[in-house]
Amino acid sequence: MQGWAWQRQARTVGAWCRHALMQAGDSLKSTVDEIRERFDNDVERFSNVQTGQTATVDASLSLELIAQAAAAVTPQAMDLLDIGCGAGNYSLKLLEALPALNVTLVDLSQPMLDRAVERITAVSPNSITPIQSDIRTLALGEQKFDIIVAAAVLHHLRGEEEWLSLFQNLHASLRSGGSLWIFDLITHESAAVQSLMWKRYGQYLTDFKDEAYRDQVFAYIEKEDSPRPLTFQLDMLRQAGFTAVDVLHKNAAFAAFGAVK
């Protein structure tokens, strides 16, 4: 029985690796409306980083590192943009370090935005601007923000042109010296390394709950997400105009990193 389970996992890993590395089948991925609906129905779970990020590795550590790095790079920051804000966990953590921040929240899900506003209002008297939108089509303006965070959201981008266009728009919307910080699912350029890291991620999910949970997570990643290698994203950030690029943490299939304008 154990051997059969291992073979099934190996087949799952192999199929996913081939898909991720070839970046094929984007047209079969979840639509924006399907992604929005999934998050509309999961607000309670995402209102707590411990329950909302159980499928991610080192979520709490990465949250802490990003908040500390953003505060260190831009200690006088006044305006934060939180992309794919969910229920507001990253904004809340940034406000602990930088309590003067005005917060702009962007998310596909209106229920998520409503919860984020509720939670942030309870701890901050500052301006909160919620925007229900697809970040790819949102006009952000120029030099409006000091800090941008994007947690577990960019893996929904599809083609390379979307990545570069978004990074360019985010760069333009930052003031000089401002910074962008990302925590997300990633892939690897080497097929062998990808297979190894995906197997480790699968074991993490199994240890957290069971093999059924692992297969459930793998299935929705296959359906919904289009992650790219960390090296690809760092190169895209430089191409978009960012000067200083840093990796804060990487473990298996997840990384926390950022860039300064």
Residue 136 sits in a domain whose CATH number is 3.40.50.150
DSSP state of 26: G
173 and 49, same structural domain? yes
167 and 245, same structural domain? yes
105 and 234, same structural domain? yes
Domain that holds residue 75: 31-187+228-260
Query: What Cα–Cα distance (Å) separates residue 180 from each residue in 75, 183, 208, 245?
Result: 14, 10, 31, 9
| pLDDT 10s digits, 233-260 | 999 999 999 999 999 999 999 999 999 9
Rg for the chain (alpha carbons), in Å? 18
215 and 236, same structural domain? no
The C-alpha atoms of residue 181 and residue 70 are separated, in whole angstroms, by: 7
pLDDT band with cut points at 50, 70 and 90 for residue 33: low
135 and 18, same structural domain? no
Please, are residues 140 and 81 in contact by the beta-carbon 8 Å criterion?
A: yes
Instruction: Give the list of residues 6+ apart from residue 148 with CB closer than 8 angstroms, or none.
Output: 80, 81, 82, 83, 170, 173, 174, 178, 179, 180, 181
pTM of the model: 0.83
183 and 200, same structural domain? no
181 and 134, same structural domain? yes
The C-alpha atoms of residue 202 and residue 195 are separated, in whole angstroms, by: 10
| pLDDT 10s digits, 88-135 | 999 999 999 999 999 999 998 999 899 999 999 999 999 999 999 999
4 and 100, same structural domain? no
Token pair for residue 87?
Answer: 């229920």
The C-alpha atoms of residue 180 and residue 146 are separated, in whole angstroms, by: 9
Beta bridge partners of 103: 80, 128
137 and 63, same structural domain? yes
| pLDDT 10s digits, 164-203 | 999 999 999 999 999 999 999 999 999 999 999 999 999 9
Length of the chain: 261
Question: Which H helix or E strand runs over 128?
Answer: strand 128-132
Tally of structural domains, the chain: 2
182 and 78, same structural domain? yes
207 and 112, same structural domain? no
216 and 232, same structural domain? no
